[in-house]
């Protein structure tokens, strides 16, 4: 059973039809929307500030979400995919974005709607990733724009697949 822990008077709120893996940890001021999946070893630690996650989001294995005390929050829109072993620290991720495996997204960065952060990238604090663009590297830089329809199709397919995968684990 997932670790769901209250801290500082905040109790996590979990939406309908949301899957939490057995060793996922959801702590403190965290609100997760409907139809999400939080996978094995993921940690959503809302002890020092808030974490807000929309609907249809998947936070994959080993990812860590945290914030700065009284300085940054995490806001994740709908149908976002957060790859394996991603760190998101106090950033905003807009609807339909994809954060590639092993990436780091730092405080006050904004990842625009439908954007793709390539695997292994580091999005520095205060970076604005334009909607519908691909960023890659350390530090992450603009690579190219993607066709909005193509980006939406790819990113939505991944989000839908993770909703299907979660259904395999329901008892």
What the chain holds in terms of domains, given with CATH numbers, is: 3-169 (2.160.10.10)
pLDDT digits (tens, 9 = 90+) for 125-145: 999 999 999 999 999 999 999
Tens of pLDDT along 4-50?
999 999 999 999 999 999 999 999 999 999 999 999 999 999 999 99
Query: What is the distance between the alpha carbons of residues 48 and 95, in angstroms, rounded to a whole number?
Result: 24
- Which residues fall within 8 angstroms of residue 6, CB to CB, at 6 or more apart? 12, 28
Confidence of residue 171 (pLDDT cuts 50, 70, 90): low
Could you tell me the pTM of the whole model?
0.96
The H or E element spanning position 27 is strand 25-32
Q: What is the Cα gyration radius of the chain? A: 15
What would the DSSP string read from start to end of 116-143? EEPTT-EE-TT-EEPTTEEEETTTTEEE
Answer whether 95's CB lies under 8 Å from 114's CB: yes
């Amino acid at each position: 059973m997932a670790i769901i822990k209250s801290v500082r008077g905040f109790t996590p709120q979990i939406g309908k039809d949301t899957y939490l893996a057995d060793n996922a940890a959801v702590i403190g001021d965290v609100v997760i929307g409907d139809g999400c999946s939080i996978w094995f070893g993921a940690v959503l630690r809302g002890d020092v500030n808030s974490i807000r996650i929309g609907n249809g989001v998947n936070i994959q294995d080993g990812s860590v979400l945290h914030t700065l005390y009284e300085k940054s929050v995490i806001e994740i829109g709908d149908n976002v995919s957060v790859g394996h072993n991603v760190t998101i620290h106090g950033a905003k991720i807009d609807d339909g974005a994809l954060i590639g495996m092993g990436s780091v997204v730092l405080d006050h960065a904004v990842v625009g709607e439908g954007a793709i952060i390539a695997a292994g990238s580091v999005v520095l604090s205060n970076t604005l990733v334009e909607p519908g663009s691909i960023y890659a590297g350390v530090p992450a830089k603009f690579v190219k724009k993607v066709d909005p329809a193509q980006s939406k199709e790819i990113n939505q397919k991944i989000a839908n697949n993770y909703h299907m995968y979660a259904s395999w684990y329901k008892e």
